[in-house]
Amino acid sequence: MVQATPFLLVLFLALGAHSLPAKKCSLTGRWINDLGSNMTISPVNANGDFAGSYHTAVSATSNEIKLSPLKGSMQKSPNQKGQPTFGFTVNWSFSDSITVFTGQCFVDDDGNEVLKTMWLLRSRVENIKNDWKATRVGINVFTRL
Ligand code: BTN
């Protein structure tokens, strides 16, 4: 019985841990990505809409980088289980381009929130013949600042 006690204690704690509510991932706040770009997301409203600002560390242009507005939408379905999918658009204030991001807000194994995203950057081109080279695609990973 004495030997069984520590085993039962560990079993109890292991089973009990499963009944604890899992940490949820929230979009609101300040984030930095793998390129060093920063963004701030304001509180998400009841419809899942949100706004914010984006300071990119890099640009496809030679223009001076400026803070740019973003608008987005987060999925509110009950199936999201605290790790919601979302999308947002950055309307660059210093170039003719637009970027759309889509992603999911995760809580990783260490309990840290992380935004895994993919993006499409649409640049303006002078004519339809150049359309083929107007869109870049990539991945960004954001962590909380
Ligand atoms: C432009 O170059 O016309 C605007 C800036 C684009 C910055 C891109 S958007 C995708 C990628 N992720 C970033 O944080 N910055 C670049």
- Within a domain: 80: yes
The pLDDT mean for the chain works out to 91
Give the pairing of strands 98-107 and 38-41: unpaired
18: left (phi over 0), alpha (psi -120 to 50) or beta: alpha
User: Bridge-partner residues for 90, per DSSP?
Assistant: 70, 99
pLDDT value at residue 5: 54
Q: How far apart are CA 75 and CA 37, in angstroms?
A: 24
Number of structural domains (the chain) is 1
* Span 30-71, pLDDT tens digits: 999 999 999 999 999 999 999 999 999 999 999 999 999 999
Could you identify the residue written with the tokens 């987005």?
A: 72
Instruction: Compute the distance from residue 119 Cα to the ligand 1 centre, in Å.
Output: 9
Instruction: Compute the distance from residue 76 Cα to the ligand 1 centre, in Å.
Output: 27
Q: Look at the chain and count its residues.
A: 145
Does pLDDT of 7 surpass 50?
no
Q: How far apart are CA 138 and CA 37, in angstroms?
A: 14
How is residue 94 written in tokens? Answer: 């210093």
Instruction: Compute the distance from residue 142 Cα to the ligand 1 centre, in Å.
Output: 14
Q: How far apart are CA 111 and CA 29, in angstroms?
A: 17
- Within a domain: 31: yes
Domain span at residue 135 reads 23-144
- Within a domain: 124: yes
pLDDT value at residue 138: 99
Give the pairing of strands 135-144 and 98-107: unpaired
Burial class (CB in 10 A: 0-12, 13-18, 19+), 8: exposed
Ligand 1: residue whose CA is nearest its atom 5: 59
pLDDT value at residue 1: 44
- Within a domain: 93: yes
Of 8-17, 37-46, 49-58, 112-121, least confident by mean pLDDT is 8-17
Q: Which ligand 1 atom sits closest to the C-alpha of 97?
A: 3
Long-range contacts of 47-52 (CB under 8 A, 24+ apart): 47/76, 48/73, 48/74, 48/75, 48/76, 49/73, 49/74, 50/74, 50/88, 52/88
Does pLDDT of 18 surpass 70?
no
Give whichever of 9-18, 72-81, 99-108 has the largest mean pLDDT.
99-108
Of 9-13, 104-108, 114-118, least confident by mean pLDDT is 9-13
CATH number for the domain harbouring residue 50: 2.40.128.30
